[in-house]
Amino acid sequence: MSTQNLLVELFVEELPPKALRKLGEVFAQTLTDSLTAQGLASADAVVTPYASPRRLAVHITAVQARADDKAQQLKLMPVAVALDATGQPTPALLKKLAAVGADASVLPQLKRLPDGKAEALFLDTVVPGVALAAGLQKALDEALAKLPIPKVMQYQLADGWSSVNFVRPAHALVALHGDTVVPLQTLGLQSGRHTQGHRFEAAVPAIDIAHADSYAEQLKREGAVIASFGERRAEIVRQLDAAAAKEGLRPIDDEALLDEVTALVERPNVLTCHFEQEFLDVPQECLILTMKANQKYFPLLDAQGKLTNTFLIVSNIAPADPSAVIQGNERVVRPRLADAKFFFDQDRKKTLESRVPGLAKVVYHGKLGTQGERAERVRAIAHAIVNQWRLATVPYTAEDKDAFDVLDSKVQQAALLAKTDLLTDMVGEFPELQGTMGAYYARHEGLRDGVAIAIEDHYKPRFAGDALPRNHTGTVLALADKLETLVGLFGIGQLPTGDKDPFALRRHALGAIRILVEKNLPLGLPDLLAAALPAFGERINDPSAALQSFFADRLAVGLRDQGFLAQEVDAVLALNPSPLSDVPRRLEAVRAFAALPEAAPLAAANKRVGNILKKIEGVVPSEVSSDLLKEPAEQALAAAIAEVQPRADALYERRDYAASLQALAALKAPVDAFFDGVMVNADDAALRANRQALLSRLHQAMNRVADLSRLAA
């Protein structure tokens, strides 16, 4: 059957810019998937999505006017029900045939085929292929129903009585199969070939799309619209880079802003603007944020990454004289920058320490008290972390004592002040700047730079791939802040469920894990959780067990995302290793061990040993008696353990986990011989207990780095 390319466009009022890219992708993919499932489009069809501020569209190659007919074998009913004792059709069979559009004339064509333990009658039929109009109507309905619209609006249709629900009012529907209109209806619209271009710069008020393949070109030529989201985005990037290069500068890198601006314009035109030099006295993060968030402008940076007073706008019009557009945007941004300067000047009139009492008036959580109480808990947890770090430092010298005393002093000061910038005007206007503004104000007051950096960094890492705190003070404070959040919220039962995590507890757990691992801190998670509990008094229940499991799940997911095999991760995490900073080294050791030829049989033997030990009732003897080693194989195994274990343990204590595991390879032959020639559950109770003790010692020797049984197939 001949095919033609297909074009479907829904023309609407301005769509939500932050959602446009996703809306366009889902619309195109869902519609295509439905056509493919109905046999109207092939799996290798080329799909081109289009999404502009006022349209969602898709172009699909090689779509059939009617799907191919399909042969189908239809099960009717069991033979015992369909035929009577003489082999004649029962009324039930005749009724079933009528229901599927057949009659008694097809009886000779019915097939008796096995169906489980009995036989059934089957009818070979041909299902006619669906026509494009019907199939495309179904596909369009599915595509609109599945659009990820967080909130729909209801609007009246032209008749003044009917109303429909959609993300924005829709005004036209285009559906072309080649050059032929496919009759469709949706949202009170009938399909045709008419659409509109740019609101102000289209060459004609309405555009008649001649052919599915001419859609994008006609919109560009007659409508002054670049319909493709990707093409429009690339054009914006090209113009931004060219305009910045003329100034010897570079535009700020912000993919989300670029997507949003792409969704706001139909034909981008980048223009260069400036603001007064005096505003550069305000922290550049404030100016950048207000220009990006409020005005959708692209600030320009110099070679050192410092903000300049030049910025770029992406206009949706291209007048011959752009001066009015430039001046208008410069005039609009000036009050925003003036507000930022005012906030900055006013905030610096009060010290951070003077704001501390105000935290007692800010509710953090109904069950966990105020931000002031929270700050005191963070201080207490941070102090406990410093002490744990102090105890884990071996050898502990006088210089170490001085260093930890200084660290504790800085941490206490930073913890006291870390949340105070929440009370500033700047952070009140721009919550994204919490921490950042605290650091600026701390430096303005002449506080130690390490404290200022810690105030800024205590929220880090804020997201996957974000930088970690830059100094020890910030590291301790960030860890304490995350532990306070996790222990407190878990302690009052505010656990994440499914995809709902309103307090971002998964992100906090991953952040704490990254700090412990990547900073190589000698701190154990159970000890940290135990140290955090006293800060809450009687306010919460002990959530340690649930948090241990939560951390383990987050860690396992993160490690698998890094490319480690599930069984490797399970083998290491099964032992609840402490500190967590050891986990990467253990994983690499397990991966190296798994590559050895001895690994698989040793893992299988370890699993067998574990199963034997689990079934033992009572206590397994801790000592192996050499006098009770009767069989040569058990004597050889005991000798091998006595030789290998001290060497493996010494390597383990030096944290050379790879060498420790590789030393175990020498146990393969004696372990194999033991299981081939020795009966563990001997009739003699003394022999049985001694052999169990030998296996217990073997189990201990093999499972210090990881639970090797998890590597068994």
Q: Which fold has domain 583-711?
A: Isoleucyl-tRNA Synthetase; Domain 1 (1.10.730)
Nearest partner of 378 among 555, 573, 508, judged by Cα: 508
pLDDT digits (tens, 9 = 90+) for 228-265: 999 999 999 999 999 999 999 999 999 999 999 999 99
CA distance 382 to 481: 8
CA 70 to the chain's CA centroid: 41
CA distance 515 to 525: 12
User: Is the model's pLDDT at 144 over the cut of 90?
Assistant: yes
- Retrieve residue 597's tokens: 């030829």
- Retrieve residue 641's tokens: 């353990």
pLDDT digits (tens, 9 = 90+) for 539-549: 889 999 999 99
Kindly report the average pLDDT of the chain as a whole number. Answer: 90
**What SS3 state is found at 613?**
helix
pLDDT digits (tens, 9 = 90+) for 314-335: 999 999 999 999 999 999 999 9
Q: How far apart are the first and last CA of the chain?
A: 51
CA distance 77 to 112: 10
Q: 93 and 76 in contact (C-beta within 8 Å)? A: yes
Over residues 426-453, mean pLDDT: 92
Over residues 93-115, mean pLDDT: 84
- Residue 70 has a pLDDT of 82
- Retrieve residue 153's tokens: 């609006």
CA distance 54 to 35: 24
Task: Give the model's confidence band at 36: pLDDT under 50 very low, under 70 low, under 90 confident, else very high.
Answer: very high
Over residues 445-469, mean pLDDT: 91
Task: Give the Å distances, CA to CA, from 580 to 343, 516, 556.
Answer: 43, 6, 12
Q: 270 and 315 in contact (C-beta within 8 Å)? A: yes
Q: What are phi and psi of 574, to 5 degrees?
A: -60, -25
Kindly provide the residue ranges of all beta strands, DSSP E only, lying in 180-329, ordered along the sequence. 180-181, 185-186, 189-192, 194-195, 207-208, 250-251, 269-274, 298-301, 307-315
Q: What is the DSSP string of 296-327?
A: --EEEE-TTS-EEEEEEEEES---S-THHHHH
Amino acid at 166: F
- Retrieve residue 632's tokens: 């040569």
DSSP 88: P
Domain ranges for the chain: 3-67+131-223, 71-127, 229-347, 365-563, 583-711
Q: 546 and 513 in contact (C-beta within 8 Å)? A: no
The β-bridge partners of 630 are none
CA distance 644 to 627: 21
Q: 183 and 133 in contact (C-beta within 8 Å)? A: yes
- Residue 232 has a pLDDT of 97
Q: 426 and 433 in contact (C-beta within 8 Å)? A: yes
Alpha-carbon dihedral angle through residues 626, 627, 632, 637, given to the nearest 10 degrees: -20
Over residues 193-212, mean pLDDT: 94
User: Is the model's pLDDT at 74 over the cut of 70?
Assistant: yes
Helix or strand (DSSP H, E) at 472: helix 472-491
Task: Give the model's confidence band at 713: pLDDT under 50 very low, under 70 low, under 90 confident, else very high.
Answer: low
Over residues 599-604, mean pLDDT: 82
Nearest partner of 505 among 516, 529, 489, judged by Cα: 489
State the pairing for strand pair 189-192/170-177. parallel
CA distance 298 to 415: 35
The model carries a pTM of 0.78
CA distance 416 to 13: 51
